[in-house]
Amino acid sequence: MADSHHLYQNIFTSLIDGVLIVSTDLKIIEGNLSAEEMFQRSRGSFEGQPLSELFPEQPEILNKIELSLSSGTAYHHVEGIGFRKSTGTHFPTNLTLSPILNTRGQITHTVILVQDTTLIKELQESTRQVDHLSSLEALTDGMAHEIRNPLGGIRGSAQLLLKDLKDLEHREYLKIVISEVDRIDRLIKRMMNLSHPPKKDFQPTNIHRVLEEILVLEKESLDRKNGKFIQVYDPSLPIIEADEDELKQVFLNLIKNAIEALPEKGQIHIITQVDPKYTLRKTQGAPPTQNIAIEIIDSGGGMSDEALKNLFTPFFTTKKRGTGLGMAISLKIVENHQGKIRVLSKKNVGTTVQVFLPLRRNDRMTS
Ligand SMILES: Nc1ncnc2c1ncn2[C@@H]1O[C@H](COP(=O)(O)OP(=O)(O)OP(=O)(O)O)[C@@H](O)[C@H]1O
Ligand SMILES: [Mg+2]
């Protein structure tokens, strides 16, 4: 008998789950080693104390125990929040409540098995986030599909018009419609492939050609403000290796922002040059590279310090119909090209946005 008592005592102590034995007046009679570890306090400090010390402010648990004591029913999967007094922290638990009967069939105690479910909860949370992501992906895919269909219609109609149109200037506009539709289509395809590693399409790119295409596109909205583009291009600006579609997106965002900030008869300077400064590579052994610099200087309203601080934060906008994504996307693209964006702005004076792009492709990009 003494031996079997010893055995039970050993089992009780060694159980991985916390075990608490609770009396009919809801006081803790005994706890095992795991319970000590879970609640980070010695048995001596909670034995004799009310159970509510370990599970404060949870009358539903106490009610269940009272029910188990009065009816003799066991309860599984009771959720409770354990309290660690020493650190003042909480942790999620899963409880099993079992009444103990004496030889006369009377209920004398309740045994509570306590499982710490912190890890399980964390896992559930991360799966939920993945679920969120995949539904977001489904939404993007659905949206992309809905956008690409009408785009097909726009492209087809523009091509039909182009067949009959004689006026050269209007033909140019239509060609831009078609090439812009193709650009959106390519970008949407890329969005749909977001879950795959992005494939960069780096080709020799003439920045002046990129800029000119954007300026033609934006000329009309500038005309509405009687504004003026002033191009100061460095004729010796070299061809760089870049993803042309992505760079178009950058300069479209920047020129749009400049026009939107412009007062009546304002000016936008677009200056290109080979940056006289060499940038030292952070990677050891890699040669220093030189950048080309594209500056977009507007004589617009400028930005407050607050706006300047939040400029690249996604969804930060001061515009009624802005998405606040233009600058965030532009920065990401420029960084993808191992470049930099610098912004200087003064309220009521104007804004200068400098885009630096490396002349030579870094070796890492070829991988
Ligand atoms: N050239 C500029 N002059 C003054 N403010 C600017 C300029 N460029 C950006 N900003 C400020 O930065 C904010 C964020 O710009 P961003 O291009 O990211 O979004 P947006 O222009 O508001 O929206 P979207 O680009 O979707 O139309 C703008 O709302 C504006 O307050
Ligand atoms: Mg913008």
11, pLDDT greater than 70: yes
Greatest mean pLDDT range, 67-81, 117-131, 322-336 = 67-81
CA of 323 to the centre of ligand 1 (A): 9
- Record the tokens describing residue 217, joined without a space: 């596109």
Let me know: does 327 contact 307? Beta carbons within 8 Å. Answer: no
Atom of ligand 1 nearest to the CA of 325: 18
Q: Looking at the chain, how many residues does it have?
A: 367
Instruction: Note whether 209 and 335 are same-domain residues.
Output: yes
Q: Comparing 276 with 198, which gets the higher pLDDT?
A: 276
Count of domains for the chain: 3
Neighbours of 2 (CB within 10 A): 6
* Environment of ion ligand 2 (residues, CB < 5 A): 257, 326
Instruction: Note whether 76 and 209 are same-domain residues.
Output: no
Show the domain range for 49: 2-116
Euclidean distance between CA atoms 358 and 360, whole angstroms: 5
Euclidean distance between CA atoms 151 and 145, whole angstroms: 10
Would you say the pTM of this structure is higher than 0.75? no
347 Cβ neighbours under 8 A, 6+ residues apart: 301, 302, 303, 304
Give residue 145's pLDDT band: very low, low, confident or very high (50, 70, 90).
confident
CATH of the domain at 329: 3.30.565.10
Per residue in 158-186, pLDDT (tens digit) is 999 999 999 999 999 999 999 889 878 87
Per residue in 258-285, pLDDT (tens digit) is 999 999 999 999 999 998 776 655 555 5
Pocket test for ligand 1, best of 327, 333, 346 (most atoms within 8 A of CB): 327
Instruction: Note whether 26 and 6 are same-domain residues.
Output: yes
Neighbours of 59 (CB within 10 A): 10
Instruction: Note whether 108 and 14 are same-domain residues.
Output: yes
